[in-house]
Structures are given as C-alpha cells and as structure tokens.
A and B are shown apart, each in its own frame.
Chain A
Amino acid sequence: MKHALLSVVFGLFLASTATADEMPTFKLLMKGGRILPETLEVPANTRFRLEVKNEGPGAAEFESLELKKELVLAPGVTRSTVFAPMKPGAYKFFDDFHPETGQGRIVAK
C-alpha cells in the first residue's frame, strides 16, 4: 500500500517534470563527495533520463562501469544522460573523484 502510494506520488512528480518526449527524468545531487540519494529507484525496462547536478565544492565525476556511463561535472554544473531500458536489479555507480565517500546505486524495479 505504502509502495503504491509512493509510486502515485512519484508518478505525479514525473508527470510534472516529463519532457515533450515523455521520458521520465530522475535527479541526482552530488555534493562535497557525497551522492544524494545514495539509492535511486527507477522503473525497470524503461528508458529514462538522469539529471546529475554537482553542487560542489570541487569537481565530481558520475561513473558506472556496469551502466557504462561517465559524466564529468565541474562545481555548479548540471548534465543529463539517457539510460537504456534496464533489467530489474541493482546497479552500482560512484563519484570517481571521491571513490571513498561517493558510492551509490540505481535500483531498477
């Protein structure tokens, strides 16, 4: 029940941010070597866009060898990238400039 409610809220959130091509967009914040949120839930088997913002201080590099993505971000920069539909599962990513503190995962459900 809680989950259903959450997805409705999430769906509304998506609807409000959906672009012309109706691709869901998720946001990720990188801040001082930390990643927020550390676990990002996304729908499985769906193409989506990830918007990564680096609030600094310092540069950050969103990287995932599993997901084959790499985004270098200077402080204050926002970049986005499109992910191909994923099979259900958990996928690790990390801040390559702060590998000790900046670890996160994307969970496709």
Chain B
Amino acid sequence: MGNAFFVVWRESLEAFLIAGILYAWLQGNDSSGKGKQALFAGLAAGVGLALLLGWALLTVQDELTGNALEAFQTATLLVAAGLITQMVLWMRKHGRQMKARLHADLAAAAEKSGFLGVAVVAALAVAREGAETVIFLYGMAQSGEVGALIGGALAGLAGAAATAWLAAKSLARLNIGLLLRLSSILLLVLASALFVAAIDRLIGAGWLTPMLDPIWDTSLLIDDTTKAGKLLADFSGYRARPALTTLLAWAAYWIVVFVAWRRSGHA
C-alpha cells in the first residue's frame, strides 16, 4: 500500500506540477480566463490520451509494435521538452508585453497561440506518465488489491495534487517577477529532464551512439537506482553514469535555452 502510494505519487507529480505552475502563472498574467480553460481542456485530453496509450501498452506484445510504441513515447518526450521550453520563453516575452502595455489585439493574437501551447503541454504531461499509472492501477485491480488500490493509489493521486497545489500556492504568493522567474526555472529543469530521458531512450534503442558510456560514475555519491535518486533523475535529468552523448545533449540544451532567454529579454 505504501508502495502504491509512492508510485502513483511520483508518476502523477510531474503532470500536477506542470498544471500547477501553469495555473499559478495564468492566475497572475491572464484575467480573461481563457488560459485556464485551455489548461483544463488540455488536462482532460491528456487523461483520454493516457487511457489510450495505457491500453496500447497493455495489448501490445510483439516486438515490432513494441518498437513503434517506444518510438512514439520517445517522440512525446521530445515534443513535451520542446514545447515546455518554448512556452517558458513565450511566457517571458508575454509578461514583458503586458508590462509594456502593447496594443490589445496584438496581445490577443499572441495569447491565442500561447494558450494552444498551454493546452498541448498539459495534455502531453498527463498522457506521458498517465499511461504508466493506468497500467500500474490496472495491475492492482487485476490482482484484487482493491483495498490498496483505493487506499494507496488514491492517496498517491491526492498527495501529488497536494504537492503541486502547495507549489503553485507558494509561487502565487510571490511577486510577479519572482513568480515568472522561479516557475520558468522549474519548468526548464523539468524539460531538460525530459530531453535527457529522450536522448537516453534513443541511445537505448540503438538510434544514437552513446560515444563514451559511461563518462563517469557518481553512483557512490547519489545512486539513481534508489527511490530518492530515481526521483532526482526523473525530475532533473540527473544520471549517475551518463553517456557522453547524453551529457553533450544536456549541455547543448542549456546553452540554447540560455541564449534564447537572453535574446527574449532584449527583444
């Protein structure tokens, strides 16, 4: 039961965190309510997608379809990482536009594309880890662990929601500049973790050469196969034994983000 709580909490935390941060940001930056509508529509679509993907993972057993699913999951990782990054940069620009009181219709146009981004990011966040949660819960239901299912799993979901709510609430307390900065950093770190996961998957599938693997071993310092270490790996992209390719990709991500961040500030 404790295990069910932890697994569900961890698997759903990412989605709740992204939703919570977006909600906090929209609360401060968008008074029309359309952004929140987009957010909730995206979350709902994500639940549908998670069920669909979970069902696919349940029924697929042959290697060929398995590989196709693997490719699809890698693609969702890459798209999610890219979209979150782009959205953070959009949020930075958007915040400045509001400050500069740009022409109303220009802001509206920017809003429309931005809100679509919000919806897609929310949907992907839920769908990705949601599919695994679906399979985990399905397994529990099938093995008759109804008590643990209701107790542990629901508590895990609630726990993740509470964690994200707390994060969003504390973010919303801050002044708008700090809110923007902190939520941006959180989202970028998450996106970098998704990007690292995608690169690792590409290497694991044999589509990318690892070059030097591993380039170092810090598992004595922080072991990424323990509960806490895995959590750190999932949310920050930490690897105890990274491949050179993964390290370079991670570095490239932050360089690109840093340059784009500076540029969006000067625009």
Contact = CB atoms under 8 A, between A and B. Distances in A.
Given A65-B225, A66-B241, A79-B61, A56 B200 contact: no
Contacts, number: 87
Contact of A94 (B60, B132, B200, B225): B225
B92 interface: no
Interface in B129-164: 131-132, 135-136, 138-140, 142-145
Given A65-B225, A80-B66, A97 B136 contact: yes
Given A72-B135, A74-B57, A82-B206, A65 B142 contact: no
A61 B132 contact: yes
Contacts of A82: 206
B241 A58 contact: no
B142 A77 contact: no
B135 A59 contact: yes
Interface string B6-35: 010000000000000000000000000000
Nearest to A51: B63
B57 A72 contact: yes
B58 to A, nearest CB: 5
A61 B54 CA distance: 13
A92 B225 contact: yes
B75 to A, nearest CB: 15
Which range holds the interface residue count of chain A?
20 to 34
Contact of A80 (B63, B132, B226, B227): B63
B239 A75 contact: no
Contacts of A66: 214, 240-241
Contacts of B200: 65, 68
B172 interface: no
Most buried by B among A74, A92, A96: A74
Contacts of A72: 57, 131-132, 135
B120 to A, nearest CB: 23
B51 interface: no
Nearest to A92: B225
Contacts of B241: 65-66
Nearest to A33: B3
A81 B61 CA distance: 11
Contact of A65 (B3, B7, B233): B233
A15 interface: no
Interface stretch (A3-11, A35-43, A98-106): A98-106
A31 B66 CA distance: 21
Contacts of B233: 65
Nearest to A69: B204
B225 A103 contact: yes
A84 B206 contact: yes
A59 B136 contact: yes
Interface of B: 3, 7, 57-58, 60-61, 63, 66, 131-132, 135-136, 138-140, 142-145, 200-201, 203-204, 206, 210, 214, 224-227, 230, 233, 239-241, 243
Which 5 residue pairs spanning A and B have beta carbons closest together?
Answer: A57-B143, A59-B139, A68-B204, A68-B200, A58-B139
24 contacts: A56-B143, A57-B142, A57-B145, A58-B140, A58-B142, A58-B143, A59-B135, A59-B138, A65-B200, A65-B224, A66-B241, A67-B204, A70-B204, A72-B57, A72-B132, A73-B135, A74-B57, A74-B58, A74-B138, A74-B139, A96-B7, A96-B230, A97-B3, A97-B136
